Amino acid sequence: MEFRGVRFFDPSPVRFHQQDQPNLGGIFMSINSETLVNHMNHEIAAIQPSDILAFNAEIANIPGIVRLTLGEPDFNTPEHVKQAAIESIEADESHYAPSNGTLALRTAAAEFLAAKYDVHYDPASEVIITAGATGGIYTALTSILNPGDEVLIPTPIFPLYIAIVKLSGATPVFMDTSDNGFVLSPDQLQTTLAAHPKTKAVVLNFPSNPTGVTYRHDDLKALAAVLADQPIFVLSDEIYSELTYGEPHESIANYLPTQTILLNGVSKSHAMTGWRIGIMCAPKAITAQLGKIHQFTVTSTTTNAQAAATEALKNGLDDAQVMKREYQERRDYLYDALNDLGFQSAKPEGAFYLFSKIPAGLPQNSMAFCRELAHEARVALIPGSSFGPGGEGYVRISYAASMADLKTAVTRLRTYVASKKQGA
């Protein structure tokens, strides 16, 4: 039926409403929203909401639960950084920043990366300030990919890349590294590449979320040798570069400067997750293209947050050191305590996660195990299955939590494991 040219639908079932209806209060009930959902980008249906956030929300209301779930530093942003933001607000810096970021921040970011990792980018043409590293990952992948392309992804891995690859109509090709200590070997990369001629990009993340392993000089050189001279991008997410517990971090951009899109930021190095400032660097010609997508998606990131990040990167070169010492102490405690309980893990060399094998005799389905543990022992961990092939049978344990919480979690785990052994 039409009323002044508008057809009416019944909002509950998906069919036309046959009666003539007046327009009440100017609201036209023209089509059922469920019908419209089916008209949305079909790739969205292929994307699952983040398992990590869903599981974290699911167990949040269990009274007294200790959550070792999120990748969120339990430190506050350094005082000098907060002051810079306050001054920026008081100076009425409330206008749009240049789309790629203020030159002051791009310069501070380029100088930070040069001083720390000996990688060199021109602040004026090779650096973009993104909405967290996440914004950079989105911009980079959507700028690179066409439907039908393939992206090689070593797993287990932080799942965000997978969702964006799918959203772009491209196909993730997983390289399960669980048989090789969670390290991608040059052979595995070479073999996968040979079998996937449509490969447009390779994603690397090191130090790794969720395993904490990282790549050293020789690993990077060998991986770079496989990729050199091929028309393939390397999307290298090095957001945990300041949190390494052995050798200092090295970037793959040292070895493949022309092919690398480098992602970093202040979220983990300066405990600034909520400020949403990331850094994306690439050669000039590539940055010019990336800048278009960044411009048309976020315009620019928050001006005052950029002032804070400028201070962090310029005058807080070693702000991560205090946090790192604490994380390392917690890592050592947790690694030993979990090994004693039968949870074996690769010793993390960076980031703030342990990726531990669920001992035999306990539920081997990682989601079932984490649910049981949350309810029976009041300890929340993230199921390894959230991180792609190779993750099932493992759990991710974040030690970005106080030592007191870690000790409580270990005591509860000990009681839980003992009760399961008794019941067996």
Q: How far apart are CA 354 and CA 361, in angstroms?
A: 20
Minimum CB–partner distance for residue 262 and ligand PLP (Å): 12
The number of beta carbons lying within 10 Å of the beta carbon of residue 114 is 12
**Of 50 and 328, which CB lies nearer to ligand PLP in the complex structure?**
50
Q: Which residue type sits at 122? A: D
Minimum CB–partner distance for residue 164 and ligand PLP (Å): 11
Helix, strand, or coil (residue 312): helix
Pairing status of strand 15-16 against strand 9-10: antiparallel
**Of 126 and 237, which CB lies nearer to ligand PLP in the complex structure?**
237
How would you label 154-187 residue by residue, b for 16+ Cβ within 10 Å and e otherwise?
bbbbbbbbbbbbbbbebbbbbbbbbeeebbbbee
Minimum CB–partner distance for residue 8 and ligand PLP (Å): 44
**Of 110 and 382, which CB lies nearer to ligand PLP in the complex structure?**
382
**Of 256 and 351, which CB lies nearer to ligand PLP in the complex structure?**
351
User: Which strand (E) or helix (H) includes residue 332?
Assistant: helix 320-340
Conformational region of residue 199, where left means phi above 0, alpha means psi within -120 to 50, and beta covers everything else: beta
Q: In angstroms, what is the C-alpha Rg of the chain?
A: 24
Minimum CB–partner distance for residue 163 and ligand PLP (Å): 12
The tokens of 412 are what? Answer: 């509860």
**Of 263 and 409, which CB lies nearer to ligand PLP in the complex structure?**
263
Minimum CB–partner distance for residue 331 and ligand PLP (Å): 16
**Of 9 and 214, which CB lies nearer to ligand PLP in the complex structure?**
214
Residue with nearest beta carbon to ligand PLP: 132
Residues at the contact surface with ligand PLP, assessed by CB under 6 A: 71, 132-134, 158, 205, 209, 237, 239, 265, 267, 273, 278
Minimum CB–partner distance for residue 381 and ligand PLP (Å): 16
Helix, strand, or coil (residue 53): helix
The tokens of 66 are what? Answer: 């200790």
**Of 150 and 237, which CB lies nearer to ligand PLP in the complex structure?**
237
CA atoms within 13 Å, Cβ hemisphere of 160 = 19
Residue 207 · residue 232 · CB < 8 Å: no
Minimum CB–partner distance for residue 383 and ligand PLP (Å): 16
